[in-house]
Amino acid sequence: MRRIIGRPALLGAGLAVVLISCGGDAAPATTIPAPAGTADPAATTLPSEGVVAESTTSTSTTMTPPPSGPPLAVDGDNNETVVAFQALLNCTGFGDLTVDGAFGPATLAAIEAAQTSLGRVVDGAPDDDTMAELSRSCSEIRQIEGEGLVTVVGNAAPEDPETFRIALLSGSSLAAIITQGTGLTVTVRGADGSDTTPQGPSAWEIGTTQDYLIDVGSPSGPVTFALAVNVTIGVQETGDWILATDGVTYQGTELSLGDDAQTVIDQIFDFLGHGVRGSYEEFDTDWYSITDPQDLGLRGIRIEGFAFLFFGPDPVHPDRPETFERHRYTGPSDDADGTPRPDDYATTSEGITVGDTLIDMQAAYEDQLAFGSNSSEYFYRLTDSGGELCFYFGSDEPTDLSPITEIASECRTG
């Protein structure tokens, strides 16, 4: 259970007042016997100059706990242990430090302030007990950044695990191994509350892009530990259907924009399986306008999460052949037999599909994307020599974990 470290406060009446000056210890007080015949037989304390005296009826001795072991960090260090102390000092209000692992004057001053408040030896060299006290009083979750190997230091206690947050992409692998400290446990769970199953000793495969929480627990007592976290970014798997800027491919067979419409439709039915002809929907976009010959309509079919659109003859172009013009994909559905298609049934060549997140997409394409929007939705545009792909995110401006709602071969800009 986290508790809050009490800040230094003025002691109440009837107790001695202790002042600490920036320049060193206060001048000692002088004690003289009480005058004869006074009502209070206790000794009288004369204050040092500038300090108001208070009388007491009793005296007590406060013992400062000695260090619990060698210091974990000293002035001049630059390491993960200092990073942990800096984060804890900021969390508990003893500092406003740059968390960079460099133990300098500001970190030293914050350590000494914490030691003073905790009633420990003020030597600027924190020990295990100082780490434990600060950890128990901090409820913030530390963020682990980046990929590859990162080492973090913390302190776990019974009923108070140390928790770290890390953002992971689907298809990644995570290893989390205790390299210092004994009797500890490590668990990984999704920030959405979902459980994860280890794939081996201290290893997890990441199925969903989101934030994950790494909990380090101690069943016996407070333990300062070091945890090595290694993240490997996986390669997104591609599906049977590949969505491209110049058309679609099914298991190696290309259906290119501009191909004969009936040939494309026949192949689509063959690819999707027997019986699918009875489950598709034809539609007309009604974009054709007799008053604007450039505003030409598209006909198409909707089937299993796809929309395939075709140009064809109209009153202005009665002899124009019908050709494959655009494609759209909004997610997997059931096949002709009612069996659900897998989530990665249709993807881009980089393995991105509907339901993947903005950071999945950005990790796959990096700086190849351009952000855009129309009057009702937000999207990212990918262009190459074949044309464009548009990744839609709905009516709310996307954040890192926003899912892709549609992938299409053209952006709607109106």
Of residues 232 and 275, more confidence is placed in 232
Mean per-residue pLDDT, 391-404: 94
What does the pLDDT look like over 156-180, one tens digit per residue?
999 999 999 999 988 889 999 999 9
What does the pLDDT look like over 238-272, one tens digit per residue?
999 999 999 999 999 999 999 998 899 889 888 88
Is 186 found in the same domain as 304? no
Percent of residues, the chain, with pLDDT higher than 70: 78
DSSP secondary structure of 88-108: HHHHTTS-----SSB--HHHH
User: What type of residue sits at position 390?
Assistant: C
Residue count of the chain: 414
Is 262 found in the same domain as 404? yes
Report which of 359, 391, 350 is spatially closest to residue 373, judged by C-alpha positions. 391
Report which of 234, 258, 191 is spatially closest to residue 344, judged by C-alpha positions. 234
E strand or H helix at 412: none
Q: What's the number of CA atoms in the CB half-sphere (13 Å) around residue 406?
A: 18
User: What type of residue sits at position 135?
Assistant: S
Crossing angle (nearest 10°) for helices 105-118 and 128-136 = 80
Is 385 found in the same domain as 287? yes
Structural contact between residues 405 and 352, judged by C-beta atoms closer than 8 angstroms: no
CATH code for the domain of 149: 2.60.120.380
Give the integer Cα–Cα distance in Å for 248 and 348. Answer: 9
Instruction: Count up the domains in the chain and report the number.
Output: 2
Is 334 found in the same domain as 302? yes
Is 206 found in the same domain as 164? yes
Residue 57 has pLDDT above 90, yes or no: no
Widest CA span in the chain = 126
Q: Is residue 151 part of a domain?
A: yes
Q: Is residue 375 part of a domain?
A: yes
Report which of 325, 207, 341 is spatially closest to residue 256, judged by C-alpha positions. 325
Give the integer Cα–Cα distance in Å for 254 and 268. Answer: 11
- Show which of 176, 211, 232 is a domain's final residue: 232
Structural contact between residues 154 and 224, judged by C-beta atoms closer than 8 angstroms: yes
Domain range for 185 is 142-232
Structural contact between residues 276 and 336, judged by C-beta atoms closer than 8 angstroms: yes
Q: CB within 8 A of 403, min separation 6: which ones?
A: 354, 355, 356, 357, 393
Q: Residue 218: which pLDDT band, with cuts at 50, 70 and 90?
A: very high
Task: Enter the pTM of the model.
Answer: 0.62
User: What type of residue sits at position 4?
Assistant: I
What does the pLDDT look like over 315-329, one tens digit per residue?
777 788 889 999 999
Q: Which two tokens stand for residue 166?
A: 């890390």
DSSP secondary structure of 156-171: EBTTB-EEEEEEE-TT
Q: Mark out the alpha helices in 282-369 (DSSP H runs).
A: 358-365
